[in-house]
Amino acid sequence: MFGTHDSRLVQDLIAVCQDGRQFYQYAARQVDDSDLQSLFRDMALARADIVRDLSKQVEALGETPDRGGTLAGSMQAVYTDLRAQLSNDPQYQYVAQLEEAENRALRRFRDGVRELQSRPLAQEVADCLATIQLAHDRMKAIKDGLQAHKH
């Protein structure tokens, strides 16, 4: 059994991934570039997979996983939308803010791996961390490429 500390921590990580999933889905509807739309939808699906996997861990505890995101995640989407509307390059704004969201997710998952008391659960979270690292690296590369085209 993971205990209350681990359960709360995993619930928090689920909420972080829900934020990411919702943000990617929203961004996919806002950008015009079909490649970015496809990428954002793929990233949303990857986050949904993490939510599913971590939710199974919470259910194994006999608890019900949270299905919503966080207030901070909702505020980030509103902030990004406003920036995109005021920008000459809204696609860059979405990519930049999604990359920043990936940075925050990476920090939360790294902390989670260190803080979890259950080693098997920490390994499960580390596996999810690898997926988030790949998403971050991809978003950073796209952001850097868009930024290079601006100059």
Domain span at residue 137 reads 3-150
Report d(CA 58, CA 47) in Å as an integer: 16
Tally of structural domains, the chain: 1
Report d(CA 93, CA 38) in Å as an integer: 17
CATH of the domain at 18: 1.20.1260.10
- Rounded to two decimals, the pTM is 0.85
Which pLDDT tens digits describe the chain residue by residue (151 residues)? 445 889 889 999 999 999 999 999 999 999 999 999 999 999 999 999 999 999 998 888 778 777 765 555 555 555 455 555 555 778 888 899 899 999 999 999 999 999 999 899 999 999 999 999 999 999 999 999 998 887 6
